[in-house]
Amino acid sequence: MSLRSPLGRVRGLGSAKEGVHHWWQQRVTAIALVPLVFWFVVSIIANVGSSYEHMHAWLSSPGNATLLILLLVAVFHHAQLGIQVVIEDYVHCAVMKPIAIIATKLLATAAGIYSVVCVLFVAIGG
What DSSP string runs through 50-66? --HHHHHHHHHSHHHHH
What pTM was computed for the model? Answer: 0.83
* CATH T-level topology, domain 17-124: 3 helical TM bundles of succinate and fumarate reductases (1.20.1300)
Indicate the domain borders of the chain.
Answer: 17-124
Distance in angstroms (rounded) separating the CA atoms of residues 49 and 33: 25
What tens digit of pLDDT does each residue of 51-97 get? 999 999 999 999 999 999 999 999 999 999 999 999 999 999 999 99
Evaluate whether 65 touches 120 at the Cβ level (below 8 Å). Answer: yes
Evaluate whether 62 touches 56 at the Cβ level (below 8 Å). Answer: no
